[in-house]
């Protein structure tokens, strides 16, 4: 009898995930069921596979959802994070293991005791970031500690970017994952981290002007801005006494300074709606955020407001997005500024059919061993293959798939709600990821502590 895997949601990040399961289906005796609201969007090589069944599913249809869960051995939820909880409750009810790539929510965490009592593995944060970042960091942290080293510094950065050969706009950026998350990044709280033993805080309106610079061999220089809460994993990683702890998002040099223009204008605000947004021109939308003048043009008012000259590269980046265009109009009705900005950006920043994306991850480990301060820098670069088989889909989907199979095969047995920070989880997955050319290069570098290239402090 085949072992049944249920995948809920078949969006952009599932191409490698689904391929992996079906490539392994015969030798591992797997049967894959995919439940999705739009099954017609699933490629034929998946839907027509003899070990696969595709089902049209409205996740809010409790009867249909529960029926699918009850027939599975393990459930993979690739749904939006807010929808995981109902699936998780079903897994408790029908004694199913659960795997997601999403952050552990408070609601999911409340199921920890029941999952443990039933011997169920509820694996979360097993994608890219969170996911590969956890596993790759813990592998090095555990290695340092096993040698007797004491951690002094840990920094971690991830960027979903465009591949060099497809990098053809002034922003050096295109959307390779959820555009909304890019537009509202950093909102909802002050970024906090520790630097040289001192707590540091960056308010949202300053976030994109406080960056750290990173160099990646063969790929040049990048910048990073702070994640909202760098201290979230302090205890999980065993870094409660570390002097510097910082997590950030990577972009190409100059992106953050340019993005800050939108922040200062108020275009990233998601707290109110613009009543008459549908049919409004891009130019009129831009003018909403500028002072009234009976004589000055929108362009002149914006240059004065942001204090930029016409020959400044910042000006060129704005022109490239057509935000002064009278003929381009907004489709959204009653959209927030952030939603409308997202619509404008997607028109310019969507990957074309022949373009590829790139994932970059960078860790820094500072430690003391035998009275000497040392530092390891490690970085990973993954390039996409196509518009569908992206680096993002690869680095999110493969760890999810590998964890799922390892749970089914009894290689991951620790029950309860968890993230992939234990050896039984990260060792086999990191080893298998290498066969897909997903791996880190490590460099022993002089320990700097405070980074002179950083303007974080």
CATH classification of the domain holding 70: 3.40.50.720
Specify if 356 maps to a domain: yes
CB burial readout 196-209, b (16+ within 10 A) else e: eeeebebebeebbe
Alpha-carbon torsion 276, 282, 283, 285, what sign?
positive
Same domain, 174 and 81: no
As a whole number, mean pLDDT of residues 63-73 equals 95
Q: What is the mean pLDDT of residues 199-220?
A: 94
Could you tell me if 144 and 235 are in contact, meaning their C-beta atoms sit under 8 angstroms apart? Answer: no
Q: Give yes or no for residue 40 having a pLDDT over 50.
A: yes
Task: Give the residue with greater pLDDT, 87 vs 451.
Answer: 87
Same domain? For 87 and 176 the reply is no
Q: Calculate mean pLDDT across residues 53-68.
A: 95
Tell me how far the alpha carbon of residue 1 is from its chain's centroid: 37
Q: What is the pTM of this model?
A: 0.91
- The percent of residues in the chain predicted with pLDDT above 90, rounded, is 89
The DSSP bridge pattern shows strands 244-252 and 220-226 to be antiparallel
CA–CA separation, 355 and 367 (whole Å)? 40
- List the CATH number of the domain containing 207: 3.30.360.10
Phi, psi of 74 (to 5 degrees): -150, 145
Residues 77 and 17: beta-carbon distance below 8 Å? no
Flag whether 175 is in a domain. Answer: yes
- The pLDDT of 14-18, averaged and rounded, is 93
Kindly give the residue spans of alpha helices, DSSP state H, lying in 291-365: 298-306, 313-320, 337-349
149 and 118 both lie in a single domain: no
Which residues, 6+ apart, have CB-to-CB distance to 347 below 8 Å? 322, 328
Provide the percentage of residues in the chain whose pLDDT is more than 70: 98
Domain boundaries, position 68: 3-124
How confident is the model at residue 452, as a pLDDT? 46
Q: How far apart are CA 99 and CA 393, in angstroms?
A: 16
Question: Closest Cα partner for 366 from 155, 157, 137?
Answer: 155
Helical (H) or strand (E) element with 48: none
The model's confidence at residue 51, banded by pLDDT at 50, 70 and 90, is: very high
* Residue 272, domain member (yes or no): yes
Q: Among 124, 156, 176, which residue terminates a domain?
A: 124
CA 294, 299, 304, 306 torsion: positive or negative? positive
What pLDDT does residue 12 have?
Answer: 80
308 within some domain:
no
- Which one, of 208, 347, 330, 228, lies nearest residue 273 by Cα? 330
How far is Cα 266 from Cα 260, in angstroms, rounded to an integer?
Answer: 10
CA distances for 449 relative to 11, 244, 351, 420, angstroms: 41, 8, 38, 28
Does 276 lie in the same domain as 195? yes
Evaluate whether residue 401 is within a structural domain: no
User: Residue 457 above 80 pLDDT?
Assistant: no
Same domain, 32 and 98: yes
Are residues 108 and 192 located together in one domain of the fold? Answer: no
Position 63 pLDDT exceeds 90:
yes
Residue 453 has pLDDT above 80, yes or no: no
The alpha carbon of 323 is separated from its chain's Cα centroid by a whole number of angstroms, namely: 27
- Per-residue pLDDT, averaged over 3-19, amounts to 92
Q: Has residue 230 got a pLDDT over 80? A: yes
Same structural domain, 207 and 349: yes
Taking the C-alpha atoms of residue 205 and residue 419, their distance in angstroms, rounded to an integer, is 32
Q: Is 307 domain-assigned?
A: no
Could you tell me if 238 and 363 lie in one domain?
yes
- Going by the DSSP 8-state scheme, the letter that residue 215 receives in this structure is E
- pLDDT at 375 > cutoff 60: yes
Q: How confident is the model at residue 1 (pLDDT cuts 50, 70, 90)?
A: low
- Asked if residue 250 and residue 206 are part of one domain, the reply reads yes
User: Which ranges constitute the DSSP H helices of 54-163?
Assistant: 62-70, 84-94, 106-109, 112-117, 132-146
Q: Is the pLDDT of residue 169 over 50?
A: yes
The pLDDT of residue 451 is 56
What is the pLDDT confidence band of residue 133, given thresholds at 50, 70 and 90?
Answer: very high
The domain boundary residue, chosen from 124, 158, 178? 124
Calculate mean pLDDT across residues 408-415: 96
In tens, the pLDDT along 412-425 reads 999 999 999 999 99
Complete edge-to-edge strand list for the sheet that includes strand 3-8 = 52-56, 30-36, 3-8, 74-77, 97-100, 121-123, 416-418
Of 349, 10, 37, 333, nearest in space to 180 by CA: 349
Burial of 375 (0-12, 13-18, 19+ CB in 10 A): middle
- Verify that 136 and 276 share a domain, yes or no: yes
pLDDT above 80 for 71? yes
* Rg over CA atoms, the chain: 23
Query: In 10 A of CB 48, how many CB atoms?
Result: 10
pLDDT at 36: 92
Q: For the segment 329-369, what is each residue's pLDDT rounded down to a tens digit?
A: 999 999 999 999 999 999 999 999 899 999 999 999 999 99
Per the structure, the count of domains in the chain is: 2
Domain's final residue, options 68, 92, 124 = 124
231 φ/ψ angles, rounded to the nearest 5 degrees:
-95, 0
Residues 208 and 221 in one domain: yes
How far apart CA 50 and CA 317 sit, in angstroms, is 49
Query: Under a CB-based contact definition with an 8 Å cutoff, are residues 345 and 183 in contact?
Result: yes
Residue 275 has pLDDT above 60, yes or no: yes
Average pLDDT, whole number, for the chain?
Answer: 94
Per-residue pLDDT of 75-87, as tens digits, reads 999 999 999 999 9
Mean pLDDT, residues 295-321: 94
Determine, yes or no, domain membership for 269. yes
Residue 141 sits in the same domain as residue 246: yes
In a domain, 43, yes or no: yes
């Amino acid at each position: 009898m085949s072992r049944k895997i249920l995948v809920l949601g078949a969006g952009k990040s599932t191409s490698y995930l689904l391929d992996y399961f079906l490539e392994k289906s015969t030798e591992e005796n797997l049967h894959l069921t995919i439940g999705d609201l739009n099954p017609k969007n699933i490629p034929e090589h998946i839907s027509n596979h003899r070990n696969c069944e595709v089902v049209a599913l409205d996740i809010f249809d409790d009867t249909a959802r529960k029926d699918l869960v009850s027939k599975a051995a393990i459930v993979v939820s690739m749904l939006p994070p807010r929808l995981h909880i109902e699936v998780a409750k079903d897994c408790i009810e029908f004694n199913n293991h659960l795997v997601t790539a999403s952050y552990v929510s408070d609601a999911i965490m409340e199921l920890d005791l029941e999952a443990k009592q039933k011997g169920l593995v509820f694996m979360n944060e097993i994608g890219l970031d969170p996911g590969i970042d956890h596993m790759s960091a813990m592998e090095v942290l555990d290695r340092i500690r096993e040698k007797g080293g004491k951690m002094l510094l840990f920094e971690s950065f991830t960027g979903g970017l465009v591949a060099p050969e497809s990098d053809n706009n002034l922003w050096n950026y295109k959307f390779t994952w959820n555009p909304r998350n890019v537009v509202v990044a950093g909102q909802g709280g002050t970024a906090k981290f520790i630097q040289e033993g001192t707590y540091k805080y960056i308010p949202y309106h300053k976030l994109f002007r406080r960056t750290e610079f990173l160099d990646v061999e063969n790929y040049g220089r990048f910048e990073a801005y702070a994640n909202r809460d760098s201290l979230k994993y302090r205890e999980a990683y065993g870094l409660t006494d570390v002097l510097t702890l910082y997590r950030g998002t990577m972009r190409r040099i100059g992106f953050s300074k340019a993005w800050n223009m939108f922040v200062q204008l108020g275009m990233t605000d998601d707290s109110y709606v613009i009543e008459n947004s549908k049919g409004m021109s891009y130019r009129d939308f831009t003018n909403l955020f500028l002072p009234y003048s009976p004589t000055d043009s929108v362009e002149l008012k914006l240059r004065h407001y942001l204090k930029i000259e016409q020959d400044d590269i910042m000006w060129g980046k704005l022109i490239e997005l057509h935000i002064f265009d009278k003929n381009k109009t907004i489709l959204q009705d009653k959209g927030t500024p952030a939603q409308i900005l997202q619509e404008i950006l997607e028109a310019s920043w969507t990957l074309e059919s022949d373009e590829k994306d790139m994932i970059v991850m960078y860790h820094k480990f500072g430690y003391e061993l035998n009275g000497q301060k040392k530092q390891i820098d490690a970085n990973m670069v993954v390039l996409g293959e196509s518009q569908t088989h992206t680096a993002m889909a690869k680095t999110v989907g493969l760890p999810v798939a590998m964890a799922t199979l390892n749970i089914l095969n009894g290689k991951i047995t620790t029950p309860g709600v968890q993230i992939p920070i234990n050896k039984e989880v990260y060792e086999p997955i990191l080893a298998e990821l290498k066969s897909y050319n997903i791996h880190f290069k490590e460099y022993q570098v002089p320990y700097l502590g405070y980074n002179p290239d950083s303007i974080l402090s």
